[in-house]
Amino acid sequence: MLKYIALKGLLAILVAFTASLAAFLLLNVASDPAQAIAGEDATPDVVETIRIRYGLDRPVYERYLSWLAGVATGDFGESYYWHKPVAELVADRADETLTLALSALFVTILIAVPLGALAGLNPNSWIDRAALGVAVSAQAIPNFWLGLIMIILFAVMIPIFPVSGDNTWYHFVLPAIVLGASSVPAVMRLTRTGLIEVMGADYIRTARAKGFRGNALLRRHALRNAILPVISVLAVQLGQKFGGSVITESIFAINGLGRLALESILGADIPTVQMLIFVFAIVFVAMNLLADILNAALDPRIRIG
């Protein structure tokens, strides 16, 4: 088991660095960052000055290596825009995004698991069809539009929740619903199929054939088995919530990492963008690793094979 975790962990770190390299290359080779910082109307000598000032005249591989060396010591460079160490900026804002991501996950579980369970226990019933309808519709609604509709609803018609800011937990209700809604279809469908599979499994059929009548008990056991794969998918979804925070935070004026990302992109602040991409990638691989470990811990076939 330990060997399995170590191997998966090593792979995860490798993946995160490959992702950071890809992002670094794309950001630096696809176009001229010095030009982007200076703006479109800048004269060539201004662009040249900026290029030298930020060390952008060095070859890309050299810059990536020095970035890597910095990362090893926790130094992610200095923000072009805020003129502060990037690591400090990110640390200041991480709280908000973590709160948002966790509360969004909570909303997902609250909606998707009961809905999926109801659908899975009554396949092809009207409940199943209604749940499927919810899933199909939720997939087609863009996150930011749902957010705006919520704001219109709750600011004008039923003003119970604040529509912007991040001072109290109350402020996180609407953003959590918006961000949480995006994971509902996937988690719901998985709960549904998991339950259908388990309810059709041999041991349940045998129990039924033998005349076992405890339907409530049966369902509770089935749900417990069906929920195992859902837990690991939730871990993966939590990882995606960080990347998904960009839109939700900008709509609800939450001062977290997503908003920092948007601001630093609009300010051509490449070191901040680069660190955020790296942090989001790390969170993503860490959550996937957690999902793998959970799977292995729960299912001996993976652990041994």
Partner 1 sequence: MTDVQITQTTAAPQAETEGLSPGQELRQRMLGHTGFLIGAGLITLVVLIAIFAPLLAPHDPYAQSLANRMLPPIWQEGGSADYLLGTDQNGRDYLSRLIYGTRISVTIGIGAATIGLLIGVTFGVLAGYFGGWVDHVISFLLTAQLALPGLLLAMALVFIIGPSIWVVIGIVGVLHWTYYLVVTRSATQRLRSLDFVAASAASGASAPQIILHEILPNLIPQIIVIFTFELGISILAELSLSFLGVGIQPPTPSWGLMIAEGKQAMFFRPWLVILPGICLFLLVIGANLMGDGLRDITSPEGRNG
What does the DSSP assignment read for 245-265? HHHHHHHHT--SHHHHHHHHH
The residue within the footprint of partner 1, chosen from 277, 290, 293, 296 (CB under 8 A), is: 277
Residue type, 198: V
How far, in Å, CA of 49 to CA of 28, rounded?
17
150 binds partner 1 (CB under 8 A): no
> What 8-state DSSP symbol labels residue 303?
H
Query: Which stretch in 49-57, 86-94, 279-287, 296-304 sits in contact with partner 1 by CB under 8 A?
Result: 279-287
How far, in Å, CA of 149 to CA of 49, rounded?
46
The residue within the footprint of partner 1, chosen from 4, 8, 9, 19 (CB under 8 A), is: 19
Rounded to 10 deg, the angle between the 215-252 and 202-209 helix axes is 140
CA dihedral (43, 273, 14, 244) positive or negative: negative
Binding mask 180-219 for partner 1 (x = CB under 8 A): ------x--xx-xx--------------------------
247 binds partner 1 (CB under 8 A): yes
* Residue with smaller CB distance to partner 1, 52 or 136: 136
Question: CB–CB of 7/284 below 8 Å?
Answer: no
Where along the sequence are the contacts to partner 1 (CB under 8 A)?
A: 11, 14-16, 18-19, 22-23, 26-27, 30-31, 33, 36, 40, 123-124, 132, 136-137, 139-145, 148-149, 151-152, 155-156, 186, 189-190, 192-193, 233, 242-244, 246-247, 250, 261-262, 265-266, 268, 273, 276-277, 280-281, 284-285, 288
